[in-house]
Structure 1
Amino acid sequence: MTSSHISSRTAPLRKTALIIGSGIGGLSLGIRLQSLGFDTRILERLDAPGGRAYQKRTPDGYVFDMGPTVLTVPHFIEELFALERDQAALDAADYPPSTLSGERVREGVSGGPRTSDYVQLVPILPFYRIYFDDGTYFDYDGDPEHTRQQIAELAPEDLEGYEEFNRDARAIFERGFLELGYTHFGDPQTMLAVVPDLLRLDAVRTLFGFTSKYFASDKMRQVFSFETLLVGGNPLSVPAIYAMIHFVEKTWGIHYAMGGTGALVRALVRKYEELGGQIRYGAGVEEILTMPRPGLLGRPAAQGVRLEGGEELHADIVVSNGDWANTYLKRLPAAARRVNSDLRVRAAAQSMGLVVVYFGFRDEGYAPLDLRHHNIILGPRYEELLGEIFSGGVLGEDFSQYLHIPTLTDPSLAPAGHHAAYTLIPVPNKSGRGAALNWENEGPELVKRVMEFLEERGYIPHLAERLTHLEWITPDYFDQTLDSFVGNAFGPEPKLIQSAYFRPHNRSEDVAGLYMVGASAQPGGGTPSVMMSAKMTARLIAEDFGIHPEIAAGVPAGYPTE
């Protein structure tokens, strides 16, 4: 492993930082700032860490991850646990390719030596079982031969197209992830420099349009485009650069933290506190405090925050791990926002909303479940349903869902003889026509239909009689509890015109000393992306404070040759 160290002559003299929010992005940045020599405090309005990755424990013995459950790129996690106090280790760990290859994942090896000191990661195979409405399914496990066999069974006309898709998606992955993954697009020139490559790779057309070039069958088009829904993106509108997700998963696999994603959150808190960082719960931020800069063109500068109870805290920098729109609309005065104005922020398209149903049910005395850890259950419509969710503000009669049953891997999340599960249903957010949806009424009705569907279609036989726990969240939870603008679940929608330079910047254009990190900022949503976002933001802060470690490209090689 390689790292760079700050000497005592170049290190900042105990600069201070406040981070709003203890999501995975905020915790990752807190660890990095402590390693850069900052004294950091994280302010969390909830009673425990995690933000969207909050974990809930119920009185009847169930443990539910309320948010992300899919972990990829385990060396991002290893790198965080390998950092030390006052160490400018901004460049990625230099792992040999063999430790990250798909073969190692299939052997059951996951994570790295420092990760295992804090949390146990295990690989999940298949990555997803994808069910079609006609009852057939596709097990996606990253194995090219197995993939070809299944295509031959379900859509033999697409075998040649798969080879071409695999080749072109690999090229997008090499350029878009391995080479540009840690690029912060803070100015138009940086963006313009990569446009020719994106055009050459055909990475600016929509992802669904891109996959449709290669696959004739609706099933294969869905298999190779659905993944962006797990980071808030509509396959019909996200750019084809997101085809790289296929290779990200294929290269480093899908992983699970024993104890749930909450166990990873607690491990990150432990690492952060070992490095001297502080975290304060029940500390909602009402306002980001600024002071004016002299001159007509001078920007205001962040100087701290005011908590909801009126207490003021001061620091050299402030970082928001919260929702981009509400950070600017609710916590900064309009006079301090020339770029992120009300007009710009309110005009941005936000990602979809979610209804997530958390339930527990008896397992003993019933036939074993014929399901996998991660299950994608597609409805009878694909394109039409996506249009209703993202543009129409309509709650349709049918739905698609992601059914997560972690107790197939980790029985500790439920009482003995029981399963804990959640199923996630994309729905419109609370903007446009979606604002008219009354979730106090719509939520229970949708939950009822989803649970009946799972039983009647045979996914969980006799579910009603087995059910021992049931609760759910709707876009109201994201709006009111997580303070997410219009109840969006993943930040700004990652459309082409809201990606790269056009996505919220990690260094504020309006307020000096204010930064963003997490799903709302560059590069976007998803657990690996928010860890990448933390690294981007740490680099910008290091640059602004004159800390100049040797920075490597950020991602090791070693992806499959297939």
Structure 2
Amino acid sequence: MPQPPPHKRKQALIIGSGFGGLSLGIRLQSLGFDTTILERLDGPGGRAYQKRTPDGYVFDMGPTVITVPHFIEELFALERDAGQLDQPDYPPHVLTGERVREGESGGPRTRDYVRLVPVLPFYRIVFDDGTFFDYDGDPDSTRRQIAELAPEDLAGYERFHADAAAIFQRGFLELGYTHFGDVGTMLRVVPDLLKLDAVRTLFSFTSRYFQSPKLRQVFSFETLLIGGNPLSVPAIYAMIHFVEKTWGIHYALGGTGALVRALAQKFGELGGRIEYGAEVEEILVTDDRGRPVQHPLGTRVARGVRLRGGEERPADLVVSNGDWANTYLKRVPRQARLVNSDLRVKAARQSMSLLVIYFGFRDDGTALSLRHHNIILGPRYEELLREIFGQKVLGADFSQYLHVPTLTDPGLAPPGHHAAYTLVPVPHNGSGIDWEAEGPRLVERVLALLEERGHLPDLRARLTHLDYITPDYFEGTLDSYLGNAFGPEPVLAQSAYLRPHNRSEDVRNLYLVGAGVQPGAGTPSVMMSAKMTARLIAEDFGIHPEVRGGGVREDGREARG
């Protein structure tokens, strides 16, 4: 049975109102805490902030791909002081693995807050020669397109499908919620991952099955959407293919910002509070007697935060949904850090960054050859990735993810117009690139390509709105170390136990949540991160939550209840 909340509620502070902060805030309210989220921006979302322009456009500034809708349903089904970490029941299609392909795809509680609809195809992947592949997760459609594009790879696809399914079963369904807090937890799963060949690089893994360069790109590009280089990330990320295939890709009507607002509403209904314009300068750390910490070897306890302007907020626990590196480098005193020292944090490999162009244009009546989600690949794949992640230079060409949500949701633009954004992977600010000079040049090159290749004919003549962000936005506005867009790069040496931990190794009652810690970046992973962190907090504070069916066991022994 759920245990009743303590006589005096514990006070929790969460730094940041991204998906991780909001998801964890809802969970902490359900566990009986009084939670306040401190957000430095003027609205919720963090990387998922939504911008509304005076000329009538609505732009999601960050994530646009929504998967695993039952993770969202679980959050909306939680109740205040219920002592739950899972919702009572999943919708039937989740338990059977059936994917919703039309109508609304959100569960019954989700529909009380926001409307989710499936998107098909998942992506239109456009190659440099103008051919394309519509990936929709349907095996028959996939086989038909492979037969047209590279029939010699049909047998390879069957083998890839089977091996990726095994990785998905072990890596996501069974180990998805495992927090690797010690070496032993990781070592116990290494034999399985070696057996599945999940530790070689994803691109190398994919190349075992496909001879066609185009198909190698189709089945490896997705890690770029979570900050990972397909040439470097481990092949366990082949599970993304099955996550999408199993539950589909979805869109929140009104944009991802509508989902953010819905989660903020739910958090408020459970008694949580969000303060905007509340920038945290320091996490207050003392010894066990409340004295300032003199060195990193003694007891270190988080006691609250200090805001810009000097106001101090006491709390029983503090959680950072901010950038992992800057949480330690800027907000935890150096003398309180032994494991997460300056040397260790600065040595971590950060993900690439992004140039994102937000634009609106007149609909001239010509049918677009685009879909809701489009991957437009350049003439080079491996070479371009090495330039972005390794050499950290701007190449002569680029690839991009082009999002045209008004094909699904016309209300995001004025009548007779489209709203779109295109995202170009670029090096983070460790490159030394001057974005004030290079940003406008790259924007012009991107717009020219979209127009000249026929993706959006006469685009520049039809533009009615244009804005963009560079790595400087991630570094300045979002306070992301070196302007990274996704946290530490998900290479093998920064995975599982070797990825930053959700429970601070240095400071008691300090926790982290979000893309920078386990399990990693991407909206579903961030929601999983929130449940991981909630479990650790419940354990540390002696709370025994009720965990019901339909979840993933933390020990990996049972995929579904």
Match of 1:522 in 2: 518
Residues 33 and 482 of structure 1: is their aligned pair in 2 closer, same or farther, counting only changes over 3 Å? Answer: same
- Cα separation, 2, equivalents of 1:428 and 1:296: 34
TM-score, normalising length: structure 1 = 0.96
Cα deviations by residue, 1:251-292 (Å, 9 ceiling, x for unpaired): 000000000000000000000000000000000100000111
CA displacement 1:397-447 (0-9 Å, x = unmatched): 10000000000000010000000000000000011xx12x10000000000
Among candidates 29, 32, 37, match of residue 37 of structure 1:
32
Deviation at 1:305, TM superposition (A): 0.4
Q: Partner letter of residue 325 of structure 1?
A: A
TM-score, scaled relative to structure 2: 0.96
Shift of 1:101: 5.9
Residues 12 and 37 in structure 1, CA contact (< 8 A), matched pair in contact too:
no
Residue 66 of structure 2 aligns to a residue whose secondary structure is coil
Say whether 1:440 aligns with 2:443.
no
Matched, 1:6 2:3: yes
Equivalent position of 1:172 in the other structure: 167
| Distance change (3 Å), C-alpha of 1:102 and 1:208 | same
Question: Partner amino acid for 1:5?
Answer: P
Q: Which residue of 2 aligns with 1:204?
A: 199
**Within the alignment, does 1:461 sit opposite 2:457 as a pair?**
yes
User: Which residue matches 1:477?
Assistant: 473
Q: Mind listing any 5+ residue stretches in structure 2 that lack a counterpart? A: 290-294
Q: Who is 1:337 aligned against?
A: 337
Label 1:99 to 1:341 Cα distance change in 2 as closer, same or farther (>3 A): closer
Change in Cα spacing, 1:357 to 1:211, as seen in structure 2 (3 Å) is: same
Kindly state the Cα deviation for residue 369 of structure 1 after the two structures are TM-superposed: 1.0
Range with greater deviation from structure 2 (98-107 or 304-313) = 98-107
1:450 aligns with 2:449: no
Q: What is the SS of the residue equivalent to 2:466? A: strand
Question: Could you tell me whether the CA contact under 8 Å between 1:29 and 1:535 is conserved in 2?
Answer: yes
> Which aligned pairs between 1:28-427 and structure 2 lie closer than 5 A?
28-91=23-86, 94-95=89-90, 98-99=93-94, 103-293=98-288, 297-363=297-363, 365-427=364-426
Distance change >3 Å, CA 440–CA 81, structure 1 → 2: same
Instruction: Identify the range of structure 1 (155-164 vs 98-107) with the bigger mean alpha-carbon deviation.
Output: 98-107
C-alpha spacing 1:197/1:104, structure 2 compared with 1 (3 Å): closer
The farther-off stretch of 23-32 and 296-305 is 296-305
Deviations 1:518-561 (A, max 9, x none): 000100000001000000000000000111224468249999xx
2:48 and 2:256 in contact (8 A); partners too:
yes
Change in CA separation of 1:266 and 1:286 when aligned onto 2, cut-off 3 Å: same
Deviation (angstroms), 1:299? 2.7
- CA deviation after TM superposition for structure 1 residue 332, in Å: 1.2
Taking the aligned partners of 1:187 and 1:554, their CA distance within structure 2 comes to: 23
Distance 1:276 1:114 in 2: 18
Q: CA deviation at 1:219?
A: 0.6
Please, which runs of 5 or more residues in structure 1 have no aligned partner?
Answer: none
Question: How many angstroms apart in 2 are the aligned matches of 1:464 and 1:212?
Answer: 39
Indicate the SS of the match to 1:398. coil
SS at match of 1:396: coil
Change (3 A) 1:366 1:98: closer
Provide, for residues 294-326 of structure 1, a one-character-per-residue CA deviation record: whole Å limited to 9, x for no partner. 799433100000001111101000000000000
Matched residue of 1:402: which SS? Answer: strand
Compared CA separation, residues 102 and 425, structure 1 to 2 (3 A): farther
Correspondence for 1:497: 493
Deviations 1:119-143 (A, max 9, x none): 0000000000000101110000010
Check the 8 A contact 1:16/1:39 in 2, yes or no.
yes
Identity within the alignment, %: 76
- Partner secondary structure for residue 105 of structure 1: coil
Aligned mate of 1:25, from 10, 20, 38:
20
Shift of 1:97: 5.2
**Retained in 2: the 8 A contact 1:101–1:558?**
no
Cα deviation per residue 1:59-80 (whole Å; 9 max; x = unaligned)? 0000000000000000000000
Q: SS of 1:357's equivalent?
A: strand
Residue in structure 1 matched with residue 551 of structure 2 by the alignment: 554
| SS in structure 1 at match of 2:374 | strand
CA distance in 2 between counterparts of 1:113 and 1:154 reads: 41
